[in-house]
Amino acid sequence: MKKFLRTRRGELGMTTAEYTVGTLGACTVGGVLVKIGQSEWFGGLVKDVLSKIPDLIPGF
């Protein structure tokens, strides 16, 4: 039983570290998406796609 408790005690900080890495990764991906969304290239792409929608839908 003592060995089990020693092993568990050594892993207590693992979940905090895993959450930190996951949160950092999510924030990084979010930051990259924001930067791409604010770029002129992406704005032009969205405008181009939206302008082609009426041509694809008959009667629109």
Domain parsing of the chain, residue ranges? 2-56
**What CA–CA distance (Å, rounded) separates 18 from 26?**
12
pLDDT of residue 10: 59
- 3-58 tens-digit pLDDT: 655 555 555 666 788 899 999 999 999 999 999 999 999 999 999 999 998 888 87
Residue 25, φ and ψ in degrees, nearest 5:
-65, -45
Expressed in percent and rounded to 5, the helix, strand and coil fractions of the chain are 85, 0, 15
pLDDT of residue 16: 83
pLDDT of residue 56: 84
pLDDT of residue 9: 59
Angle at 59 between CA 58 and CA 60, to 5 degrees: 95
- Decide: pTM greater than 0.85: no
Tell me how far the alpha carbon of residue 53 is from its chain's centroid. 28
Q: What are the tokens at 5?
A: 């408790």
